[in-house]
Structure 1
């Protein structure tokens, strides 16, 4: 009943308005018909008795009764009386009432002069016409009433259908359900429906953004908790080891009496921790956008060649081979220090994770408006579920060997933050030949 409420109201108001209009129109026309009928009846009565008046006047008002009798014999449906100037009865038809005993329903003075008066007491043949006119009027009114009901129903339905649809859509919008776009109406209801749908679309977009923001905040909080937990673990172990060494030297216990040897060990561990802290601070600065990249035109081949000397000795010690294939003329726009920092961590990660005797390939190729710089360490593969985690701070695939290899677990995190700050797309993925890391550097 709730969904049909507005339809019933509109239908009721419409039918009442139309009925009032039809009623007033019928009343006005019935009054006009009644006046027309009376005028026509009067004219017909006068015209019907005019021959009697003329005959009486031609006979100089003599033998009025005889003239009236002959008139009645020819018009036996007429009932009338003739009186003199004093009201005395001159002639009366058999069924007519005298002036003293008149009880009929019709009394009309047809003619009246100083000599005689004719009073008609019966109506002419317009009664059937009048009855037919009334019947037809009632029939027309009934048809008009039926048409009014149909028109009111159609009008109310057409008026309330878009409103009901809009109300239904608004209810579904309130429950954040999917709502189809409104129809292309050109009137105010269409404009209202489009405005409501626009607000609903904006509301969904805002809610989606808020949900994404909440999810991002939760992920950020989770990442921060993990980062602080991992950082405290990474710093706690060497600090505890340094404390043990210092306490042993203070107590002159066993081998700890050789102070220079173990002091050098303490300094070495402190240098490692100082480097780790510097990396952490660098990641924080990149995350807070405190480091702003300053792009310059760089030759990719020369940039990579200048860095290879740092890794050539390490790769040769592992029996690895580094192969580069970067054509001349590949010039990109990038911050030189940030690019070298990211690239050095990528190459170091490749050297550390390529098996002994393996090959590391570095090449570049054009991709749309970029030069894609690729680094492939062959003979290795990483579980696809682990790949995204490699960019998390202090995450290591092989936790047992990580410290022995001098890995801090921040290399790929630094790469990620550096390239994101530079606005460079990158990815780490498995290929049939090994693990591939690529970055898209914008062409100069």
Structure 2
């Protein structure tokens, strides 16, 4: 079955309704026309036979008066009967009342002496036919005009609906849809609501896609993290097992149990520290760590951390330069911030060449204090920079086992600063590698 559009249906429904209205109106008016015609006809007949009545009243000879009237009005057909129904006079084509089978019979006069009955119309037939023709033409013109109005009405009503349906179809395909035309009626309000809902839907879909992508990235990160963690833990455990087996078998140098037991303890301590860092990262990921902000003096916090790095910098001939004005305070979790900053400084010291300089300063930017740590004489490949925050990532594979770094320092820094909602970045500067973080003033 063919599915007609809304325009066709609206036009048909409107046209049929108008047609019914026109037909009912024409029927009512036709009755009025007939009633009007009959009233005019009756008046005309009475007026036409009035001279005959006057002649009869002046002349007692009814037949003579009727003959003279008929001579002057030969188109009239009538009969005159007495009170008993007997025929007094009849025109040549008139019929007796008891045998009348014509289409017109009107009693013009009736009293105790005589009755005049007309059997022909008196010139109004053409008027009636003309009236019918004119009325029919008027109703045809009205119906044609109504059809035109129905077409315009259906077009005006269905065009915005069709546009809305077309827009909805494009929305279903997630295509770009232009804003609806400005209308101040219910259709305009509906179009604006649909477009607003579509915008919210696209925004929600985009957020869901971002969330799915984020979840996938987290899953991938977790897989990488556990894979790297198992690899990092497996090697020292295997080395410790070798040492212990050698001591149990008293093979070669392994007979010196005290020496190699101390080596085992050192390796276990390193692995214990690494496991603690892994657990700390997991706690930060799970949201189990809640920052407790407090007012912190930035200079005092930095200078309080520097003594623990003095031995390392002295051994490498490195210098620490601090340029933080007094009175600068921020609002953050003191312990978490110190831990993150300690890992940043350790990373800077370990990557600064012998005789190099580590600079720490702060500056006011957008109502925040930017705390900067720069290790001079260093340079990192731009492609490697984002990966440095990945767990167990080392840019220099050759140094993977020679240093004592766990590979989790910058990962902990990232997790800690993100938990505290502190913006940060690691980037190459003209004279070294710069790490900065923006500390809130309040």
Q: Mark yes or no: TM-score above 0.5.
A: yes
- Rounded Cα–Cα distance in structure 2 between residues aligned with 1:284 and 1:131: 102
1:44-443 to 2 correspondences below 5 Å: 44-59=44-59, 61-62=60-61, 64-84=62-82, 91-93=89-91, 96=94, 104-180=102-178, 189=187, 193=191, 196-197=194-195, 200-443=198-441
- Rounded Cα–Cα distance in structure 2 between residues aligned with 1:80 and 1:139: 36
Cα displacement string for residues 379-403 of structure 1 (whole angstroms, at most 9, x for unaligned residues):
3332333222111100111111133
Note if contact 1:376-1:434 (Cα within 8 Å) is conserved in structure 2.
Answer: yes
Equivalent residue number for residue 34 of structure 2? 34
Q: Which moved more, 1:313-322 or 1:21-30?
A: 313-322
Gaps of 5+ in 2: none
Cα displacement string for residues 354-374 of structure 1 (whole angstroms, at most 9, x for unaligned residues):
333433322111122311111
- Rounded Cα–Cα distance in structure 2 between residues aligned with 1:429 and 1:185: 53
Cα pair distance change 1:71/1:432, threshold 3 Å = farther
Cα pair distance change 1:4/1:101, threshold 3 Å = closer
Superposed displacement of residue 69, structure 1:
4.4
Equivalent residue number for residue 19 of structure 1? 19
Superposed displacement of residue 85, structure 1:
5.0
Cα pair distance change 1:330/1:87, threshold 3 Å = same
- Rounded Cα–Cα distance in structure 1 between residues aligned with 2:399 and 2:374: 22
- Rounded Cα–Cα distance in structure 1 between residues aligned with 2:77 and 2:197: 84
- Rounded Cα–Cα distance in structure 2 between residues aligned with 1:102 and 1:4: 59
DSSP-derived class of the 1:400 partner: helix
Superposed displacement of residue 330, structure 1:
0.7
RMSD: 2.9
Cα pair distance change 1:2/1:200, threshold 3 Å = farther
Cα displacement string for residues 152-205 of structure 1 (whole angstroms, at most 9, x for unaligned residues):
333434444444444444444444444455556565555555555555555444
- Rounded Cα–Cα distance in structure 2 between residues aligned with 1:340 and 1:139: 99
- Rounded Cα–Cα distance in structure 1 between residues aligned with 2:407 and 2:111: 136
Q: Which moved more, 1:6-15 or 1:49-58?
A: 6-15
- Rounded Cα–Cα distance in structure 1 between residues aligned with 2:148 and 2:401: 89
Superposed displacement of residue 235, structure 1:
1.2
Superposed displacement of residue 88, structure 1:
5.7
- Rounded Cα–Cα distance in structure 1 between residues aligned with 2:322 and 2:6: 78
Q: Which moved more, 1:251-260 or 1:273-282?
A: 251-260
Cα displacement string for residues 5-39 of structure 1 (whole angstroms, at most 9, x for unaligned residues):
43333333333333222222221221121011111
Cα pair distance change 1:154/1:416, threshold 3 Å = same
Note if contact 1:382-1:435 (Cα within 8 Å) is conserved in structure 2.
Answer: yes
- Rounded Cα–Cα distance in structure 2 between residues aligned with 1:107 and 1:289: 109
- Rounded Cα–Cα distance in structure 1 between residues aligned with 2:70 and 2:383: 123
TM-score (norm 2): 0.88
Superposed displacement of residue 409, structure 1:
0.9
Superposed displacement of residue 53, structure 1:
1.4
Note if contact 1:3-1:164 (Cα within 8 Å) is conserved in structure 2.
Answer: no
Cα displacement string for residues 317-363 of structure 1 (whole angstroms, at most 9, x for unaligned residues):
33433332211111111222211111111112122223334333221
- How many residue pairs are counted as aligned between the two chains? 442
Cα pair distance change 1:3/1:436, threshold 3 Å = farther
